Amino acid sequence: MNHKKEWMKTPLELPELPYAKDALAPVISEETIEYHYGKHHKAYYDTTKDLIKGTELEGASLEEIVEASAKDPSMKKLYNNSAQAWNHNLYWEQFAPVGQGSMPAELEAMLKEAFGSVDEFKKKVVETGVGQFGSGWIWLVLKDSKLDVYSTPNGDNPWKDGNYPVFGLDVWEHAYYIDYRNARKKHLEEVLEKIVNWDYVLRLIKKYQAQV
**Domain range list for the chain:** 29-93, 105-209
Give residue 2's pLDDT band: very low, low, confident or very high (50, 70, 90). Answer: very low
Query: What would the 3-class secondary structure string for 73-103 be?
Result: HHHHHHHHHHHHHHHHHHHHHCECCCCCCCC
pLDDT of residue 8: 73
pLDDT of 3 higher than 90: no
pLDDT of residue 136: 98
Give me the percent of the chain exceeding a pLDDT of 90: 92
CB 103 within 8 A of CB 194: no
Pick 29-93's CATH classification: 1.25.40.10, 2.40.50.140, 1.10.287.990, 1.10.10.60.
Answer: 1.10.287.990
Fold topology of 105-209: minor pseudopilin epsh fold (3.55.40)
Which range is least confidently modeled, 45-49, 55-59, 99-103? Answer: 99-103
In tens, the pLDDT along 99-152 reads: 898 999 999 999 999 999 999 999 999 999 999 999 999 999 999 999 999 999
